[in-house]
Amino acid sequence: MNRPVSAARDQELVSAVREGDIERARKLLNSKADANAIDSDGTPALVWAGTCGNYVLVRMLLAAGASPDLQDGKKRTALFYAATGPTVKDRERYRTKQELLDAEESVQLLLKGTDLTLKDDDGKTALEWVKDYRLTRSLGYAFSPSLSEKRQRLDRIIKSIERAATLQILKDPSLGD
């Protein structure tokens, strides 16, 4: 295959994922775009899907062979971002497109294959990062019902990551070192 055509297709896939365009992403994957495609800033398509909290795209990319361990420029995997949910900007963008956003479902899919010992540039694992995220926002949770719901969701996600990390350590005790 001609590499420039393939590279252009891969960049188009990252763009489709970043924009939440499920149909375009599906067509590109069917035409052999690389599920592990990375944009010019070093962000993999799967990280974009996790960042946007788009369960459909996370599932689609994983099924097409995307590695859940690919990291962005800050050395964070899709799990880091999916666990904390989409940003306000991303929620607004996808709400207008009526795309399915379900960070908890995305997290469950990503937990099946992500190495939970990977650390970001700050030296934190996904679990540590999500706990810090929850802690830094805990004051606001007490005063807002919608933030209280987010705290409860984060608590469920933290428990899921803790269970998955325990299972990884049981399978490979060297990971606990």
Per-residue confidence band for 35, with pLDDT thresholds at 50, 70 and 90: very high
Section 27-47 average pLDDT:
95
Provide the residue ranges of all domains of the chain, joining segments of one domain with +.
3-176
Indicate if the pLDDT at residue 33 is higher than 60. Answer: yes
CA distance 63 to 71: 18
Residue 173's alpha-carbon distances to 138, 153, 167, 168, in angstroms, are 33, 29, 10, 8
Contact 131, 81 (CB under 8 A): no
Section 116-124 average pLDDT:
94
Residue 82: per-residue pLDDT: 86
Residue 102: per-residue pLDDT: 66
Residue 138: per-residue pLDDT: 56
- Decide which of 145 and 61 is more confident: 61
Which CATH architecture group holds 3-176? Alpha Horseshoe (1.25)
**Residue type at 93 in one-letter notation:** R
Per-residue confidence band for 46, with pLDDT thresholds at 50, 70 and 90: very high
Indicate if the pLDDT at residue 153 is higher than 80. Answer: no
